[in-house]
Amino acid sequence: MDEAGIRLPVSKTVAVDPRSGRLIPTRPHVQIAPGAISRLQEIFGGSGWSDRLSIREPTPVEVIFAPGSSQGPLQPVSRAFALYQLAGQTMNMPCLGDRAIRGLAKLVERSRCYGLSGGSPREMLQAEATALNAA
């Protein structure tokens, strides 16, 4: 990851502001006691979250990597395909419905969209780094 210049997020999920289409900070579902992360690092090792990316303010998305529908590890895909893939992974779609779709559409309309599939982890990581650096 370091060689490719890619930082992983703190969370596996993000929130999208339906009005702007930007990523926004989420509230944690579990409160973590002060010092708990440091204590876990002492017990199990690891570097913690310092090298991870976290959303602290509304943030635009420049590149979307959608699973599937490509030949090789990385190919451009339509914004419609990217929107379809994102909508299928949206956890609160039943609650937000078309409001979620409109927010995702705003996110997608300003982004370069790629399909990921069929490569080794190293090939996919290299392809992602290339796409991210192509801005």
Q: How many domains does the chain have?
A: 1
Largest CA distance in the chain: 47
Domain annotation covers residue 48 = yes
pLDDT for the residue numbered 1? 63
3-state SS class at 4? coil
pTM of structure: 0.77
Domain annotation covers residue 26 = yes
Asked if residue 73 has pLDDT above 70, the reply is yes
The amino acid sitting at 25 is: P
Task: Please give the residue range of the domain that contains residue 36.
Answer: 15-133
If you write DSSP's letter for every residue of 20-85 in order, what string do you get?
Answer: T--EE----SS---TTHHHHHHHHH---TTTTSB---S-B---EEEEES--SSSEEE--HHHHHHH
pLDDT for the residue numbered 39? 85
**Confidence at 49, pLDDT banded by 50, 70, 90:** low
